[in-house]
Amino acid sequence: MAPLGGGTVRVDEDGRAGFGFCEQWNTAAYTAQLSVVVGVLNIFSTFVILLGNSYRHAHGWKICAGLLAIHAFFQSVAWILIVNVFNQDGRFYFGSRLSTATYVSIATTIVDLLLLTALVAAGFTGIFASSSSTAAQDRSDYERIQ
């Protein structure tokens, strides 16, 4: 018997067999922490790109899309591992529920994938490049005032 909150749970399995509860739970925690780091890097790179020159505006979407894809991947791994442990492990008794953080992680993954789709579509259609190159062409038509 193993203590769990106010009650106990019978643990019949061998603790050394396979990728168990603790390993999955710790891996989910590490990937969630890593996704926070990637998310902060993405926010920082977005500000650098927005404050940068026209070259950064035209080509920076690739960096943001890559970081967004990595963030979505790590978020997905985290909540998939948690949901898998929740469904497969006997430590969770009938009627127990996942916390709000799991649902926030799932929603974040969905938002990441939607933003990634929009960002890649806008990048490949040339929205970012056309606006900056058109502005550069418009500026080149003017003559310098003496």
Tens digit of each residue's pLDDT (9 = 90 or more) over 6-49: 555 555 655 555 578 888 889 999 999 999 999 999 999 999 98
Q: How high does pLDDT run on average in the chain?
A: 82
10: in domain: no
- Full-model pTM: 0.72
Cα dihedral 106, 108, 114, 120 sign: negative
Min mean pLDDT across 12-26, 56-70, 76-90 is at 12-26
**Cα–Cα dist 62/48, whole Å:** 13
pLDDT-derived band at 144, boundaries 50, 70, 90 = confident
Tokens 């969630």 belong to which residue? 32
pLDDT at 130 over 60: no
Task: Give a yes or no: residue 9 inside a domain.
Answer: no
Q: Reduced to 3 states, what is the DSSP secondary structure of residue 133?
A: helix
Average pLDDT over residues 77-98: 86
Secondary structure class of 91 (helix, strand, coil)? coil
Q: Residue 72 pLDDT > 80, yes or no?
A: yes
Q: Going along the chain, which residue ranges are E strands?
A: 2-4, 7-9
Q: Does 32 reside within a domain?
A: yes
Question: Is residue 4 domain-resident?
Answer: no
Alpha-carbon dihedral of residues 106, 112, 118, 120, nearest 10 degrees?
A: -130
Percent of the chain at pLDDT above 90? 42
Does 45 reside within a domain? Answer: yes
Q: How confident is the model at residue 134 (pLDDT cuts 50, 70, 90)?
A: low
State the pLDDT at residue 8: 54
Q: How confident is the model at residue 131 (pLDDT cuts 50, 70, 90)?
A: low
The answer to the question of residue 125 being in a domain is yes
Position 13 in a domain: no
Does residue 6 sit within a domain? no
Is there a contact between 32 and 75 (Cβ–Cβ < 8 Å)? yes
How many separate domains does the chain show?
1
Residue 141 or 72, more confident: 72
Burial per residue of 105-140, b for 16 or more beta-carbon CB atoms within 10 angstroms, e otherwise: bbebbeebeeebeebbeebeeeebbeebeeeeeeee
Domain that holds residue 61: 21-140
